[in-house]
Amino acid sequence: MSVLRLKLPTDPRWVNIVEKNIEEILTDHAWCEQKAATNAITIITNNSEHQDLVKDLLALAKEEIDHFEQVHNIIIKRGLKLGRERKDDYVNELYLYMKKSGDRSRVSSLVERLLFSAMIEARSCERFKVLSENIKDEELSVFYRDLMESEAGHYTTFITYARKYGVGIDVEKRWREWLEFEESVIANYGKGETIHG
């Protein structure tokens, strides 16, 4: 996962926690996909002048909703229930960091939102890889392997547009700052049966 440049890998033992409560990880995962779709729509709404970004993020939003449906289908197939939406403390910490950063110009706001999105996709991709390689449930192992590749594509989309539209911003420097911050945040997680928990 060196391509993602994450500084702190997930301990594979996290999967042992997940396996004790498959219903919880599936519910949390479903809502993560829904929020990812909503986030893409929000970026489109606020930056509709960028035709290429709108086109690519519409496709991304559709894919996220498709993932939501796939997770929901697994929940139904297993006789489980989609629980209520879960609070994601990890994402909330990243969100607060995003709000405090930048000079609040439209360009800065777009770059920050794209890097925030890329960060979540990068960590989700890494978590899916850990799940696919360590979970004993064969169906879920294959499922998370497939999703991992998709999340990597989403990460690339967000980073590419941050670089393209971040005129006057040192996007590489800012991304390094995001990676440093994320390392300090994720160090407190990996103890719960949620995607970022």
For residues 137 and 19, give the distance between their C-alpha atoms in angstroms, rounded to a whole number.
Answer: 9
Give pTM, 2 decimals: 0.95
pLDDT confidence of residue 104: 78
pLDDT confidence of residue 119: 97
- Are 157 and 62 in contact by the 8 Å Cβ rule? The answer is no
For residues 171 and 123, give the distance between their C-alpha atoms in angstroms, rounded to a whole number.
Answer: 19
The structure tokens listed for 89 are: 């403390």
Q: Is 103 exposed, middle or buried (0-12, 13-18, 19+ CB in 10 A)?
A: exposed
Domains for the chain: give ranges and CATH numbers.
14-187 (1.20.1260.10)
pLDDT confidence of residue 140: 97
pLDDT confidence of residue 197: 86
Residue pLDDT tens, the chain, 197 long:
456 899 999 999 999 999 999 999 999 999 999 999 999 999 999 999 999 999 999 999 999 999 999 999 999 999 999 999 989 999 999 999 998 776 779 999 999 999 999 999 999 999 999 999 999 999 999 999 999 988 899 999 999 999 999 999 999 999 999 999 999 999 999 999 999 98
50: left (phi over 0), alpha (psi -120 to 50) or beta: beta
